[in-house]
């Protein structure tokens, strides 16, 4: 080993030794905690960052459970028969989308944060052809024909979230936050009855588009529950009451006569709560890998398939059913940058 290289290694060793002594002094000093240790590492170029900005970009994956059980088709040949198909048999699958979170430290234990996520690929469809001798009755949109040979449905849903929060550090581990949150849940549903297989256009149609727009204030808590070397386990959640402005448009047809009534609107209270658990592995003082679990619960909302019973295109009676709930569950993975 050359003299120059040996001198370089000795210099690095001396700096590491001084850093270790300084850290030990901080840990042993009375009334001094991790915040001071973080400052020490940041000042001396160590592995814990305490920058003014914290940005995370994740891929979010969520599935949905709900309380839908509305009957759409019955066996017309058997009085009081169970449903041939109901909305609880729909499976919206898993939707993926971006989740972006930006936090700015303002000093004196205060900060502001913005979070966005969007999921627009929930959906399912179903088609059923009835054999000769079978008879079924429609049970959607006021239609009750019994001479259909084919039944089709299509369902799509989208969920968007934007929030702006004021944050305050209670101590070196826990942060409380409060702020404005906007959530939009859009639903599109269609049910079609055909007198012959693959009939175009369908003789009977019922389509509804329902938009839930939730505006409100939330209160939440976020903190570190475990810390081991480069690994952190964080947990948090929030809850709030919201005003839900629902807009619904309906389009129907019976015996191919198209019916397009005016839009229906309602304003009711809704609840939103979420819980998240995040594991963070710090690669260096600025970059970390992260992955976790996300749970989200909405109640007081209008789901598309549930509108089939409140809207009757035959009698011209239209209303919104906004007493449903939806539970989203899944995970996320991405990158966090502190600077």
Residue 331 vs residues 182, 273, 291: alpha-carbon distances, Å: 21, 16, 7
Tell me what pLDDT residue 233 has: 98
Ramachandran assignment for 189, one of left (phi > 0), alpha (psi -120 to 50 degrees), beta (any other): beta
Residue 307 clears pLDDT 80, i.e. is over it: yes
* Half-sphere exposure of residue 15: CA atoms within 13 angstroms, side-chain side: 9
What pTM did the predictor assign?
A: 0.81
CATH of 51-338, one of 3.40.50.20, 2.30.110.10, 2.40.128.100, 3.20.20.70: 2.40.128.100
- H-helix segments, the chain: 3-28, 34-43
Q: Residues 229-270: pLDDT tens digits?
A: 999 999 999 999 999 999 999 888 776 667 777 789 999 999
Tell me what pLDDT residue 116 has: 98
Tell me what pLDDT residue 49 has: 39
Tell me what pLDDT residue 163 has: 98
Tell me what pLDDT residue 79 has: 62
Q: What percent of the chain has pLDDT over 90?
A: 54
Q: Are strands 264-282 and 287-301 parallel, antiparallel or unpaired?
A: antiparallel
Average pLDDT taken over every residue of the chain:
83
Average pLDDT over residues 104-129: 94
Q: Tell whether the torsion through CA atoms of 279, 284, 285 and 287 is positive or negative.
A: negative
- Please report which confidence band the pLDDT of residue 37 belongs to, taking 50, 70 and 90 as the band edges: very low
DSSP secondary structure letters along 2-49: -HHHHHHHHHHHHHHHHHHHHHHHHHHSTT--HHHHHHHHHHTT-S--
Rounded to whole angstroms, the Cα distance separating 279 from 166 reads 23
Cβ of 273: how many Cβ atoms within 10 Å?
15
Average pLDDT over residues 116-124: 96
Q: Residues 52-105: pLDDT tens digits?
A: 999 999 999 999 998 888 888 877 666 666 677 888 888 999 999 999 999 999
- Please report which confidence band the pLDDT of residue 134 belongs to, taking 50, 70 and 90 as the band edges: low
Rounded to whole angstroms, the Cα distance separating 23 from 37 reads 6
């Amino acid at each position: 080993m050359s003299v120059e290289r040996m001198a370089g290694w000795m210099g690095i060793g001396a700096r590491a030794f001084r850093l270790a002594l300084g850290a030990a002094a901080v840990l042993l000093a009375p009334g001094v905690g991790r915040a001071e240790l973080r400052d020490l590492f940041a000042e001396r170029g160590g592995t814990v960052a305490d920058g003014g900005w914290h940005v995370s970009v994740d891929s979010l994956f969520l599935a949905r459970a709900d309380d839908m059980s509305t009957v759409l088709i019955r066996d017309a040949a058997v009085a009081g028969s169970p449903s041939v198909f109901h909305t609880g048999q729909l499976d919206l699958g898993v939707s993926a989308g971006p989740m972006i979170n930006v936090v700015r430290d303002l000093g004196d234990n205060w900060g502001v944060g913005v979070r966005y996520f969007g999921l627009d690929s929930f959906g399912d469809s179903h088609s059923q052809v009835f054999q000769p001798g079978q008879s079924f009755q429609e049970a959607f949109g006021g239609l009750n024909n019994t001479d259909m040979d084919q039944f089709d449905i299509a369902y799509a849903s989208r969920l968007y979230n934007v929030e702006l929060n004021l944050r305050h550090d209670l101590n070196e581990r826990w942060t409380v936050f409060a702020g404005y949150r906007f959530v939009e849940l859009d639903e599109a549903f269609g049910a079609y009855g055909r007198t012959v297989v693959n009939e175009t256009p369908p003789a009977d149609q019922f389509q509804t588009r329902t938009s839930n727009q939730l505006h409100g204030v939330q209160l939440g808590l976020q903190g570190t529950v475990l810390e081991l070397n480069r690994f952190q386990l964080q947990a948090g959640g929030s809850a709030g009451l919201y005003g839900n402005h629902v807009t619904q448009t309906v389009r129907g047809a019976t015996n191919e006569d198209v019916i397009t009534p005016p839009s229906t609107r309602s304003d009711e209270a809704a609840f939103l709560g979420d819980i998240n658990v995040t594991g963070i592995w710090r690669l260096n003082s600025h970059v970390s890998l992260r992955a976790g679990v996300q749970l989200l619960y909405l109640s007081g909302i209008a789901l598309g398939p549930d509108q089939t019973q409140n809207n009757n295109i035959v009698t011209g009676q239209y209303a919104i059913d906004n007493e449903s709930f939806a539970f989203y569950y899944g995970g996320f993975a991405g990158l966090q940058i502190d600077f």
